[in-house]
Amino acid sequence: MANPYACILPTNAAYLPGALAFLNSFLEFGLQRYCDLVIPYHGWDVSIFAGADCTIVPYPVEAPGHKLQIVLGRNRAAAEFAETYQAVAMFDADMFLLSELRLFFEIAAAGMIVGSNNDTHQDQSAYRYADGWPICPTYSYKMVCNVPFFVSRRHAAAIYTTASEILTAEVEKNVGDLASFNLAISLHPDAFDQMLVIPSSQFTGIHHTNFKPQTFHVFDALAKQPPLPTRERINPEHFVITADYLPVHSVHGRYWTRGYVENLLKKMAWYFGDHLGMQDRNAAGWMSRATSIANRTQKIFLEYLLGGPVPFDAIRSYVHPNHLEYIEERSHDLKVNFPSNYSTGG
Average pLDDT over every residue of 21-36: 97
Domain range list for the chain = 5-200, 202-342
Q: Which helix (H) or strand (E) holds 212?
A: none
Q: How far apart are CA 151 and CA 48, in angstroms?
A: 29
| CB-CB contact of 141 with 174 (8 Å) | no
- Residues with Cβ within 8 Å of 223's Cβ and at least 6 positions away in sequence, in order, are 236
For residue 65, the model assigns a pLDDT of 61
| CB-CB contact of 187 with 163 (8 Å) | no
For residue 205, the model assigns a pLDDT of 94
Q: How far apart are CA 155 and CA 223, in angstroms?
A: 41
Phi, psi dihedral angles at 134 (to 5 degrees): -60, 140
Q: Please, which pLDDT band fits residue 221 given cuts at 50, 70 and 90? A: confident
Residue 345 has pLDDT above 50, yes or no: no
Q: How far apart are CA 166 and CA 163, in angstroms?
A: 5
Q: How far is CA 9 from CA 14, 15, 40, 68, in A?
A: 14, 11, 7, 16
Q: Please, which pLDDT band fits residue 223 given cuts at 50, 70 and 90? A: confident
Phi, psi dihedral angles at 279 (to 5 degrees): -65, 155
For residue 63, the model assigns a pLDDT of 61
Average pLDDT over every residue of 215-230: 87
For residue 318, the model assigns a pLDDT of 96
For residue 342, the model assigns a pLDDT of 37
For residue 227, the model assigns a pLDDT of 81
For residue 343, the model assigns a pLDDT of 34
DSSP 126-168: G-BBTTS-BS---EES--EEEEEEEEEHHHHHHHHHHHHHHHT
Helix pair 16-28, 280-307: axis angle to 10 deg: 80
For residue 339, the model assigns a pLDDT of 59
pLDDT in tens, 52-87: 999 999 999 986 666 678 899 999 999 999 999 999
Interior angle at CA 76, CA 153 and CA 158, nearest 5:
45
Reduced to 3 states, what is the DSSP secondary structure of residue 251? strand
Q: How far apart are CA 225 and CA 204, in angstroms?
A: 26
| CB-CB contact of 126 with 172 (8 Å) | no
Q: Which helix (H) or strand (E) holds 109?
A: helix 102-109
Q: How many CA atoms lie within 13 A of 63 on its CB side?
A: 0
Question: Which CATH number describes the domain made up of 5-200?
Answer: 3.90.550.10
According to DSSP, the residues that pair with 8 across neighbouring strands are 38, 90
Phi, psi dihedral angles at 258 (to 5 degrees): -60, -45
Identity at 57, one-letter amino acid code? V
pTM listed for this prediction = 0.94
Average pLDDT over every residue of 241-263: 97
For residue 324, the model assigns a pLDDT of 96
